[in-house]
Chains A and B, each alone.
Chain A
Amino acid sequence: MRIEVPARRRNLISLTPLIDVVFILLVFFMLASSFLDWRGISLNMPPVSEVGRVHDGSLELRLGVDGSVSLDGEAVSRDAALRRVGAAVSTEPDRLVIVRPEGEVRLQTMVEWLEALSGAGATNVSLRQG
């Protein structure tokens, strides 16, 4: 007995060019897309005239290159500085905290301090030239 083999359906178009194009698209999207999880920290712009201005009741935090910290002119440890800032802003939430890093302080360090200050409860933090 003879069994009829169904005739093979011929592909209308060849798949190879399709794969080429899809591969090119794939490589393009792999290279061009970024998966970074961007975050934004809003910064307070410095006030117009800074020279000679006395900030009433503001806390001034100076950051040294070697990791030293001074709060209102007094050298303190990082934890003590954060504690004191936290205590100050708990009574007066709008109290201005001015962060003045030394010239060589890296941005990563500044960002860590902004984070820590915000974690201590300070909402009004300003980053200024020291």
Chain B
Amino acid sequence: MKLPAPPTRKDSDDHLIPLINIVFLLLIFFMLAGALSRPEPFSVEPPYSDEGQAATVDEWVLSVAADGRFALDGEELLRDAVIDRIEQRTRNGDDLRIKLRADADLNAELLLPLFDDLRDAGVERLTLLTVASGG
């Protein structure tokens, strides 16, 4: 009696290699092209602008949400705590450049008093972060 040969199981890994090639390419693209950023506790929609030099979002980034919440380097703080922290840093004479990431919908009456408080806390240079509008 002749038994039918069992269906030969194809080596299932072979046809996955092109897939892996593509996935590796995507992985390397995202690793190189994207800048890793610390997630913010709230979403900030920055204003659009074509002015200004290219900037990096690294340290001493003060985020201000449209409803007036504050976060310093990704940590949500009360306004007084933000000023305190900046003051502690500037007290030893460090030249501190604050990068302000404020929401485009933020009002002048919320934002401009902050400039005075930052000045009083010893901040000498303030950079307003914007996003290039050209796509």
Name A residues whose Cβ lies closer than 8 Å to a Cβ of B: 8, 11, 14-16, 18-19, 22-23, 25-26, 29-30, 32-43, 45-46, 48, 50, 101-108, 110-112, 114-115, 118-119, 127-130
Q: A38-B56, A42-B126, A115-B50 are in contact. Are A107 and B30 (CB under 8 A)?
A: no
Task: Say whether A38 contacts B130, CB under 8 Å.
Answer: yes
For chain B, the count of residues having a C-beta within 8 Å of the partner chain is 57
Q: A16-B13, A25-B27, A41-B130 are in contact. Are A101 and B112 (CB under 8 A)?
A: yes
Q: Specify the chain A residue showing the minimal Cβ separation from B115.
A: A46
Contacts of A11 in B (CB 8 A): 11, 13
Task: Say whether A111 contacts B47, CB under 8 Å.
Answer: yes
Measured CA separation A26–B100 after assembly (Å): 31
User: What secondary structure prevails in chain A residues at the interface with B?
Assistant: mixed
Task: Say whether B54 contacts A39, CB under 8 Å.
Answer: yes
Task: Say whether A108 contacts B107, CB under 8 Å.
Answer: no
Q: A15-B13, A33-B34, A34-B35 are in contact. Are A39 and B108 (CB under 8 A)?
A: no
Whether, in the assembled complex, B51 has its beta carbon less than 8 Å from a beta carbon of chain A, the answer is yes
Whether, in the assembled complex, B3 has its beta carbon less than 8 Å from a beta carbon of chain A, the answer is no
Task: Say whether A40 contacts B129, CB under 8 Å.
Answer: yes
Task: Say whether B11 contacts A8, CB under 8 Å.
Answer: yes
Task: Say whether A43 contacts B35, CB under 8 Å.
Answer: no
